[in-house]
């Protein structure tokens, strides 16, 4: 029993919900648009402030966008913007 206490244990949670940042952004955009919001304004508000109230809970968009850190979402946006601008 004491041998078990000397070993480092870790837990890994397997997530079936591995969704790309692009997929998250598109899904949230569509949910906001369907609800009649200006999706760009709402998403910018969320990215700047971190306040999830900017994102509708419709179609689970609020929980979906919170699966990634805001800096990861911004990185995805910037990479795609620059890739299109440089092509």
Q: Answer whether residue 1 shows pLDDT above 70.
A: no
Mean pLDDT, residues 10-36: 81
pLDDT band at residue 36 under the 50/70/90 scheme: very high
Tokens of 19: 């969704």
Burial group, residue 86, by CB count within 10 angstroms (0-12, 13-18, 19+): exposed
Q: Where are the domains of the chain?
A: 19-85
Share of the chain above pLDDT 70, in %: 83
Q: Answer whether residue 17 shows pLDDT above 90.
A: no
pLDDT band at residue 43 under the 50/70/90 scheme: very high
Give the chain's end-to-end CA distance (angstroms, integer).
61
Share of the chain above pLDDT 90, in %: 72
Question: What mean pLDDT value characterizes the chain?
Answer: 87
């Amino acid at each position: 029993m004491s041998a078990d206490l000397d070993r480092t244990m870790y837990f890994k949670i397997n997530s079936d919900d591995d969704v790309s940042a692009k997929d998250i952004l598109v899904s949230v955009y569509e949910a906001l648009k369907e609800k009649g919001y200006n999706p760009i304004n709402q998403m910018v508000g969320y990215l700047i402030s971190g306040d999830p109230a900017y994102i509708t809970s419709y179609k689970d968009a609020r929980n979906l966008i919170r699966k990634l850190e805001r800096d990861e979402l911004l990185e995805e946006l910037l990479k795609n913007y620059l890739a299109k601008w440089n092509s």
